[in-house]
Amino acid sequence: MSDTDDILTSRETRRDFLFGAGGALAATWAATNWPAIAAAHTHAAAATSNGGAALVVLSAAEALDVEAIAAQIVPSDDAPGAREAGALYFIDRSMHTWLAGQAESFRAGLRDFQTKFAATHSTVGFASADDATQRAFLSANEASDFFNSMRALTLIGLFALPQYGGNRDGIGWRLIGFENQHAFAPPFGYYDRDYPGFKAR
């Protein structure tokens, strides 16, 4: 894309690692714009096997940090967050299924993240740092490709079908009040309960 002055293009270029930007962008258009959806996200390989609790791609040390970052993106409060939803397991599973082709660049991004954190926080790794330290470091790095990928993967892991390894027990769906049901009947919400029927004016 040649027009470097285009805000959108520059945003894409900045974040085109994985589909962090593509996903977010597409979602915005998808919103209304089914017409505009297209340019975004997506990857070809379909996921196949069932999600399990064992890690396949990520090492234990990598997993600790990935889970800690996910838990900052959607924290646990009175309701469970990304940690309880198993976002880590979704991400690990993605790296050997539908995102297998990008696993190495993801891990490289994670290594850079860890190196950068270690340079300024010499005693402990990111996952062992206190909450305020973690948030401050993520705030300072929230424009990075790695963080944007982590954000996209965490959210996908929160809301994708549980068969992909995340959204355990429908935790993501419960958080946002989404019922995973095949069929519904009206009334659907508060405002259509007492609708008197359409009358033209």
Stretch 42-71: interaction string toward another protein, x if CB under 8 A: xxxxxx------------------------
Using CB under 8 A, which residues numbered 141 to 200 contact another protein? 142, 151-152, 155-156, 158-161, 164, 172-173, 175-186, 188-192, 195, 198, 200
Stretch 113-132: interaction string toward another protein, x if CB under 8 A: --------------------
Of 49, 50, 101, 169, the one binding another protein (CB under 8 A) is 101
Judged by CB under 8 A, which stretch of 11-19, 55-63, 108-116, 120-128 contacts another protein? Answer: 11-19
Using CB under 8 A as the binding rule, whether residue 2 contacts another protein is answered as yes
* Size of residue set near another protein by CB under 8 A: 81
Of 57, 58, 72, 109, the one binding another protein (CB under 8 A) is 72
At its nearest, how many Å lie between another protein and the CB of residue 71? 10
- 94 within 8 A of 150, measured Cβ to Cβ: no
d(CA 145, CA 91): 16
Measured from the CB atom, is 130 or 179 closer to another protein? 179
Which residue has 């033209």 as its token pair? 200
Spatial CB neighbours of 4, under 8 Å, sequence gap ≥ 6 = 10
Measured from the CB atom, is 53 or 190 closer to another protein? 190
Burial of 107 (0-12, 13-18, 19+ CB in 10 A): middle
At its nearest, how many Å lie between another protein and the CB of residue 102? 6
C-alpha pair distances (Å), 18 with each of 57, 101, 132, 141: 17, 10, 28, 17
d(CA 58, CA 35): 38
At its nearest, how many Å lie between another protein and the CB of residue 114? 19
Using CB under 8 A as the binding rule, whether residue 3 contacts another protein is answered as yes
d(CA 41, CA 167): 21
Work out whether the CA dihedral 168, 174, 176, 179 comes out positive or negative: positive
